[in-house]
Amino acid sequence: MVTQSKAGAARLGVMLLAGLLSGCGMFPWLGADKDPTPPTKLTEIVQTAGLTTLWSARVTRGTAGRRLYLVPMVAADRLYVADSRGRLVAVAADSGRVLWERDTDLQFSGGPDVKGDRLVIGTSRGELLAFSSSDGKELWRTQLGSEVLSVPRLTDTAQVIVHTLDDSVYGIDANTGAQQWRVNYPAPVLTLRGSSSPVITSAGILVGLSGGKLVNLDPADGTPLWEVAITRPSGRSELSRIADIDADPVVIGTIAFVGSYNGDLAAVDITTGTVIWRRELSAHAGLAADASDLFVTDSSDQIWGADPSDGAGRWRQEGLRYRQVTAPALVGNLIAVGDLDGYVHLLTRTDGRLVGRTRITGKGAITARPLVVGNRLYVYADDGTLAALSIGGAPAATLGLRGSAPADAGAASRDVDTAPADSPGSAPPESSP
């Protein structure tokens, strides 16, 4: 007979509650019969940036409605995707032609990542597997301690770095699957369902934790080089104290941009752990940046444009609120995001206007950030649809909800809907503990 302590039972109950909450998307959508804050309805836009579907195919069975971290990955002119029922597929990036596919009895949940002839991917049962990227042959598998809900990262030194749902970080030999080291951080009582993917930098391995900390680890043995609190949990209830860093940090030069749920957006020097600036903004969905711009999808699905030097807001796009918008992707002078109804939206970098939209599927949400390769977008939806889109200028045309082309059926949102950017409160620079 299996028994557990009252504390253990309470913790299990809260973890189950967290899982249920995560299945609802963002917390503002909780409700019994009717969502109190339904997704913003799409209206019309003046399309000045054309989106053309080059090819589209349903190559997997998708995620079966589960909130996972299965993303498209490109390497050597091939795209790799997986589904929650154990299918792994490689397709030609230029045509969508299936090059190989492998059906397994696994429940893929995080990945893949590809480097050379290695493809690595994690499962809901805490397994990490390596396959040959050339033909899909399984090379090895190893058992971890918890579900993988982030992308395992292959390094140039033949390692795989994995962050699991219980806030453990592993260093794994990429050739054999042998565990080299493991670092475990205590998780809060209540967290969102998800984990940030490790980011490999010249200064170490960056990992965002469910307690609101960003840590930098030595890839040789997992030794913490520094750690810093991006958000300190506050509030009386466990819900109000959620401070997860589930969005992947973005590194530009020696600066990491990182956001947390219920908390702050910050810029951190990766060599020292010093917080350069901090802004109050709940940035759970993800962010994108370069040397001149920072873009954030916040927890209400507003998209922000900000100054990367100090975090000051430049503009805010409210037209996609509560549409479960993905992390932004940068493509030329535009930003691309996907949403819960299978739409891809284009915004201008300068002021956040909606200038393009197309729909790749009517049967699944887009939860993975669009993958940018040159002037092409690769989009993977939760129903297993994989599509390649090209972006180019188009004559100004107003698109309504019916649209003028099949790909745009059901699309649109009025020309701007751009609100003046609020300037969230900031904190002075501070050093890591």
What's the pTM value of the predicted model, to 2 decimals? Answer: 0.83
- Classified as helix, coil or strand, 224 is strand
Q: Where are the domains of the chain?
A: 39-427
115-134: per-residue pLDDT in tens?
A: 999 999 999 999 999 999 99
CA distance 257 to 271: 13
Do the Cβ atoms of 194 and 246 come closer than 8 Å?
A: yes
Per-residue confidence (pLDDT) for residue 223, from 0 to 100: 98
Q: CA of 356: how far to CAs of 234, 314, 334, 361, 393, in Å?
A: 40, 21, 10, 16, 10
Least confident of 94-108, 241-255, 364-378: 241-255
Q: What is the distance, to the nearest Å, from the Cα of residue 116 to the centroid of all Cα atoms in its chain?
A: 23
Structure-token match 């507003």, residue found = 302
For Cα atoms 344, 18, 239, give the angle at the middle one, nearest 5 degrees: 95
280-326: per-residue pLDDT in tens?
A: 998 878 999 999 999 999 989 999 999 999 999 999 999 999 999 99
Amino acid at position 131, single letter: F
Q: Residue 54 is inside which H or E element, if any?
A: strand 45-58
- Classified as helix, coil or strand, 321 is coil
For Cα atoms 303, 404, 397, give the angle at the middle one, nearest 5 degrees: 60
Provide the terminal-to-terminal Cα distance of the chain, rounded to the nearest Å. Answer: 45
Neighbours of 384 (CB within 10 A): 24
DSSP string covering 368-428: SPPEEETTEEEEE-TTSEEEEEEEEEEEEEEE-SS-SSGGGTT----S--EEEPP---EE-
Amino acid at position 171, single letter: G
Do the Cβ atoms of 424 and 417 come closer than 8 Å?
A: no
Per-residue confidence (pLDDT) for residue 181, from 0 to 100: 99
Do the Cβ atoms of 61 and 87 come closer than 8 Å?
A: yes
Of 116, 111, 136, 114, nearest to 127 by C-alpha is 111
200-239: per-residue pLDDT in tens?
A: 999 999 999 988 899 999 999 999 999 999 986 565 655 6
As given in the structure block, the two tokens for residue 348 are 């201008």
Of 90, 131, 87, nearest to 107 by C-alpha is 87
Least confident of 67-76, 208-217, 258-267, 373-382: 258-267
The answer regarding whether domain 39-427 maps to CATH 2.130.10.10 reads: yes
Q: Residue 338 is inside which H or E element, if any?
A: strand 334-338
Do the Cβ atoms of 218 and 180 come closer than 8 Å?
A: no
